[in-house]
Amino acid sequence: MAVKKLRPITPGQRFRTAPVFDTITADKPEKSLVRSIKKSGGRNNTGKMTMRYLGGGHKRKFREIDFLRRKRDIPAVVNSIQYDPNRTGHIALLFYKDGAKSYILAPEGLKPGQEIIAGENVAPEVGNALPLSKIPLGTIIHSVELKPGQGAALARSAGSYAQLLAREGNYVTIKLPSGEMRLVLSKCFATVGAVSNSDHMNVSLGKAGRNRWLGRRPRTRGVAMNPVDHPMGGGEGRASGGHPRSRKGLYAKGRKTRHPKKYSNKLIIGKK
């Protein structure tokens, strides 16, 4: 997929770069795999706003994605590649040999008519899902499980991927999109390839209204508020001193947020 630069015939198009849906092959979702979404607008059950800057947006339908790859050792044919408004990557509709249908995250290069499969002893080809213990070292993977049977948790957004680096005992070492090196149980499943729509990072919305269509309301800067509303508010003119911090006074931009005694700390080797 690529992005296109529009002719600036309106102010909103002057700085806009839009996605080109040349890899999308169907425009309507599979009815049996779709359900409705109830939006909260950032309010809880009493109507109190608990999440700021949420609300509005175009109506969406949720596509149920099979992150577990439940149908094992049953070949499936890719029927179509579709757009999903609920995520950045594209999705693929699979028709299994036994008549079942499901959606999966579409890897880069997957095309309609292609046959893929998930199982313990399948070939490490693009779109196939298999245990990390059976994937060759150096392979690009995505939709990696953290616990066996939990479902895909890592490398799921557009263009992201992890790399399998080493194997020792019951664990394998993978390099995550952040550069972090992490140990994962070799029984965990992963899908071969990188997530599709890698050009998503190059898309520029161009105007505030397009953000509203996505369900995002305007975000007010802390320095623009009064002292009663934010620790960084107040001051004469544009003066606003102090270290960047949250509305509740917690330091931002550099303060570590991970719990120092988190159970999985021993599985993180470091960054590369």
Q: Are residues 54 and 135 in the same domain?
A: yes
- For residues 196 and 243, state if they share a domain: no
CATH number at residue 149: 2.40.50.140
Q: What does the alpha-carbon distance between residue 93 and residue 212 come to, in Å, rounded to a whole number?
A: 29
Same-domain pairing of 159 and 252: no
- At residue 1, the pLDDT reads 61
H or E stretch covering 212: helix 208-213
pLDDT above 90: residue 256: no
Positive/negative CA dihedral, 223, 228, 230, 231: positive
Record the pTM: 0.92
Among 25, 57, 24, CA closest to 42: 57
- 54, with CB counted inside 10 A (0-12, 13-18, 19+), is middle
Task: CATH number of the domain at 230, please.
Answer: 4.10.950.10
- Can you tell me the distance from the alpha carbon of 191 to that of 141, in angstroms, rounded to the nearest whole number? 6
CB neighbourhood size of 105 (10 A)? 27
Cα–Cα dist 101/248, whole Å: 47
Range of the domain at 27: 2-201
Tell me: pLDDT of 65 over 70.
yes
Q: What is the pLDDT of residue 241?
A: 67
Same domain, 131 and 47: yes
Look up tokens 């029927």; give the residue.
Answer: 79
- Residue (of 161, 186, 188) closest to 171 by Cα position: 186
Q: 152 and 30 share a domain?
A: yes
Task: Please tell me what DSSP assigns to residue 141.
Answer: E
Across the range 54-59, mean pLDDT stands at 96
- What digits encode the pLDDT tens for the residues 137-148? 999 999 999 999
**169 found inside a domain:** yes
Do 29 and 162 belong together in one domain?
yes
Please provide residue 128's backbone torsions phi and psi, each rounded to the nearest 5 degrees: -80, 145
Residue-wise pLDDT tens digits, 86-125 = 999 999 999 999 999 999 999 999 999 999 999 999 999 9
- Mean pLDDT calculated for residue range 161-166: 97
What percent of the chain has a predicted confidence (pLDDT) above 70?
Answer: 99
- pLDDT tens track for 33-48: 999 999 999 999 999 9
pLDDT of residue 238: 78
Supply the DSSP string of 8-26, one letter for each residue: -SSGGGTT-EEEE-TT--B
| Cα 180 to Cα 23: distance, rounded to the nearest angstrom | 31
Q: Kindly indicate the confidence band of residue 252, based on its pLDDT and cuts at 50, 70 and 90.
A: confident
d(CA 167, CA 133): 8
- Counting Cβ atoms within 10 Å, is residue 142 exposed (0-12), middle (13-18) or buried (19+)? buried
pLDDT of 271 reads 79
- Same domain, residue pair 139 and 231: no
Strand partners, 28: none
Q: In Å, how far are 29, 33, 56, 208 from 39, measured between CA atoms?
A: 20, 19, 9, 21
Q: Determine the pLDDT at residue 19.
A: 93
Query: Mean of the per-residue pLDDT values for the chain?
Result: 94
Structurally, the chain folds into a number of domains equal to 2
Query: What is residue 10's predicted lDDT score, i.e. its pLDDT?
Result: 95
pLDDT at 240 over 80: no
H and E: helices and strands count for the chain: 1, 17
